[in-house]
Amino acid sequence: MPSNGKMVCSCGYKQNWGIISEKRKKEKPLEIVDLKQGERVNPEIEADCVKCGHKKAYFWLMQTRASDEPETRFFKCVKCGHQWREYE
C-alpha cells in the first residue's frame, strides 16, 4: 500500500517528497551462458594482421594503465591467431 515519504536529516530537518510505492519489479531469471572450448565471444572487425595480411581480427579493451588514461585495444587475427595492441 502506498504511503507518503519523508526525508529526515540527522540535524532534524524534515521534508515530504511524495508517495512511496510498495510495488516491486519482477526479477528476471539469471541467464547462464555455457561457452564450449574454443568458442569466441569477442567482436570481429576489419584490421590488417602484420603477420599474415588477413583483414579480420577479434578485439577487446583492457585498462592497462592509470584510470585517467585511455584503455588499450587488443587484437587477435582470425586466421593465424597473432595478437597485437593499439595504444591511444
**pLDDT tens-digit readout, 9-38:** 788 777 776 665 666 677 888 777 777 776
pLDDT value at residue 38: 67
Nearest to 84 by CA among 21, 54, 65: 54
Q: Which of 22, 69, 71, 88 is catalytic?
A: 69
For residue 1, pLDDT over 50 is answered with: no
CATH architecture of the domain 40-88 equals Single Sheet (2.20)
Q: Is the pLDDT of residue 87 over 80?
A: no
Reported as a single tens digit per residue, the pLDDT across 49-84 is: 999 999 999 999 988 888 888 889 999 999 999 999
Q: Is 69 a catalytic residue?
A: yes
**Backbone dihedral angles phi then psi of residue 16, each to the nearest 5 degrees:** -75, 140
DSSP string, 10-75: TTS-EEEEEEE----PPPPPPPPP-PPTT---S-EEE---TTT--SEEEEEEE--S-TTSPPEEEE
> Which residue in 22, 34, 39, 68 is the catalytic one?
68
